[in-house]
Structure 1
Amino acid sequence: MLVLTRKPNEAIMIGDDIEITILSIEGDQIKLGINAPKNVDIHRKEIYLSIQQENRKASKTENNFLEGINEYFKKKS
């Protein structure tokens, strides 16, 4: 992990096209501004993990559905 120290209105660059700026520091909260191309998804980590979990559930449901259809047609033959 890279650890950097920044002050308000200072920024870091990730690659050539992602810029993260420290907007303000208030108590134990830091407000960040993120400039990135529209094709880059940006989520809070807890939201990202929730999306990943839902995607795993959906893919399992789809596999079970397809296996059920496969079994149905095997019995028909």
Structure 2
Amino acid sequence: MLALSRKIGETIVINNDIEVTILEIKGDQVKVGIAAPKSVPIYRKELYLQIQESNKEAANSLPTNADLSGLFD
């Protein structure tokens, strides 16, 4: 992990097309702005983990070949 110090208004660039800017600092919270191409999904980590878990549950609930065997008889 790369750790950087930034002040309000300062930006870092990732992979030539993603910019992360420090917008505001209030107490123990930092407001961050992210500019990225629309093709790059950006999620808060807790939401990303929920999506991953939902995808795993959905994949595990797919019907098996045995469940589908009588559909086309």
State the distance in 2 between where 1:47 and 1:68 align.
Answer: 34
CA distance in 2, matches of 1:60, 1:68: 15
Question: Which runs of at least 4 in structure 1 moved beyond 6 Å after TM superposition?
Answer: none
Which residue in 2 is equivalent to 1:39? 39
> How far off its partner does 1:69 sit?
1.8
Note the 1:34-73 alignment, pairs <5 A. Answer: 34-62=34-62, 65-69=63-67, 72-73=69-70
Q: Which runs of 5 or more structure 2 residues have no equivalent in the other structure? A: none
Deviations 1:8-61 (A, max 9, x none): 000100011000000000000000000000010001000000000000000010
Larger radius of gyration: 1
Larger % of helix: which? 1
CA RMSD of aligned residues (A): 1.4
Runs of at least 5 residues in structure 1 that lack an aligned partner in the other structure: none
Between the aligned residues of both structures, percent identity stands at 49
Question: What SS is found at the alignment partner of 1:32?
Answer: strand
